[in-house]
Amino acid sequence: MYLENISLSCFKNYTENKLEFSADINCILGPNGSGKTNLLDAIHYLSLTKSAFNTIDQQNIQHNCDYFSVRGVFNQGGSRTKVQCSCKTGAKKIVKKDQKVYTRLSDHVGLFPVVLITPYDTDILREGSAVRRKFMDSIISQIDHSYLNNLLRYQRLLNQRNQLLKDFATRQRFDAELIASYDEPMLALMSTISRRRNEFVEQFAPVFQKHYKTISDDQDEVAISYQSEVISEQFKQSFLANHQRDVTLQRTGMGVHRDDLKCTIGKRSIRKFGSQGQQKSFVIAMKLAQFDLVEIHKQFKPILLLDDILDKLDDHRITRLIEMVSSHHFGQIFITDARAERTAVILKQVSSDIRKFMVSNGEATLVENSISRD
């Protein structure tokens, strides 16, 4: 599966731009602030119906414009699909597949998967558990459509239940029956979600460990495990016994919305004890494992978006990644770099159809279209 072309209108700093891509490697070059990452983000929109960096759609509309539109054509084994994502000021965004408007955006997620590797990935380790849940959820959602729907349903119930708990506090009146009406559907969804997350992590962890060994120099044992209070046998009783505490806290204190991924190196927390280099290798291995898992489930390779990684990786890790590129481990790749000469040197080693685009002030142009051979 690959993206044949893209057309941007008033998307961030792009006013009007149409580009035809290589099915192999696309280099997006240009100075800082020119729009390289924005182009990757537009591809992210076509895949996941949202930005990877700014979750407020309206803020992706070009300043002084009243809409943005991103259109693209995906090619899957010769079959072409047009996808359009647009957003007007003050209105909800619209996503179309072959001119048909989606009523549920979640129906689109997973059809044209992408894996994005950025310098911000170490946030996955450094920030709170919400980031790790998001990481896990975004992968499972791309490979299991019912999971995303269950998650959205759970989130809605959780929001409603929390609102009720707040209302009880405001009105100084507790309605036990009303709150209990949420228990059964939420417990059922929690059990399904935690089972799926557990199954996912069991499959994910060994693939991640294999990649960590390949890209890092050090021999430390790394591990990722699923942490959830929901999988314990007593969870249902504890959840039901927690009503009074929920009322006091004015929110639901237990559930899958508190799950986490335990990430360790040499049995210790990577966040607290891992070096910067170890943390970088750790998250790249997580993303490479994401790539493999999506491929296993979808039976085709997701698009790989590499944002500024040459800048942030040392030679050893770059060599490992380029070996993977050379061995055609990946499918279509988009790689951004502010230093064109560096990319040229690195990609000399790769035999692929490589297109280079130069970005300047929100306009990308094709500058080189080469099929390099060993």
Torsion angles phi and psi, residue 190, rounded to 5: -65, -40
Distances, alpha carbon 249 to alpha carbons 52, 162, 230, in Å: 32, 10, 20
Q: If contact means CB under 5 to 8 A according to the sort of partner, which of Mg ion, ligand ATP, none does residue 118 touch? A: none
Binding range to ligand ATP, per CB under 6 A, among 53-61, 171-179, 279-287, 348-356 = 53-61
Q: Which of residues 27-46 bind Mg ion (CB under 5 A)?
A: 36-37
37 binds ligand ATP (CB under 6 A): yes
32 binds ligand ATP (CB under 6 A): yes
Residues 322, 350 contacting (CB under 8 angstroms): yes
Interface characters, 127-166, with Mg ion (x: CB under 5 A): ----------------------------------------
| Cα gap 342→324, rounded to integer Å | 18
Residues 227, 170 contacting (CB under 8 angstroms): no
Q: If contact means CB under 5 to 8 A according to the sort of partner, which of Mg ion, ligand ATP, none does residue 34 touch? A: ligand ATP
Interface characters, 55-74, with ligand ATP (x: CB under 6 A): ----xxxxx-----------
CB neighbourhood size of 170 (10 A): 8
Please identify, using beta-carbon distances, which residue of 139 and 303 lies nearer to ligand ATP: 303
Shortest distance (Å) from residue 120 CB to Mg ion: 10
308 binds ligand ATP (CB under 6 A): yes
Which of 124, 151, 179, 88 minimizes the C-alpha distance to 289? 124
Q: Specify burial of residue 276 (Cβ count, 10 A radius: 0-12, 13-18, 19+).
A: exposed
Distances, alpha carbon 266 to alpha carbons 158, 273, 283, 317, in Å: 36, 9, 16, 21
Distances, alpha carbon 127 to alpha carbons 73, 224, 228, 271, 313, in Å: 35, 16, 18, 9, 21
Q: If contact means CB under 5 to 8 A according to the sort of partner, which of Mg ion, ligand ATP, none does residue 141 touch? A: none
Distances, alpha carbon 22 to alpha carbons 130, 277, 334, 352, in Å: 36, 32, 9, 9
Shortest distance (Å) from residue 362 CB to ligand ATP: 7
Q: If contact means CB under 5 to 8 A according to the sort of partner, which of ligand ATP, Mg ion, none does residue 63 touch? A: ligand ATP
Q: Which of residues 320-359 bind ligand ATP (CB under 6 A)?
A: 338
36 binds ligand ATP (CB under 6 A): yes
Please identify, using beta-carbon distances, which residue of 207 and 310 lies nearer to Mg ion: 310
Residue type, 180: A
Shortest distance (Å) from residue 11 CB to ligand ATP: 8
Q: What is the largest CA-CA distance in the chain?
A: 75
Question: Reduced to 3 states, what is the DSSP secondary structure of residue 339?
Answer: coil
Please identify, using beta-carbon distances, which residue of 61 and 83 lies nearer to ligand ATP: 61
Q: Which residues bind ligand ATP (CB under 6 A)?
A: 12-13, 30, 32-38, 59-63, 308, 338
Q: Which residues bind Mg ion (CB under 5 A)?
A: 36-37
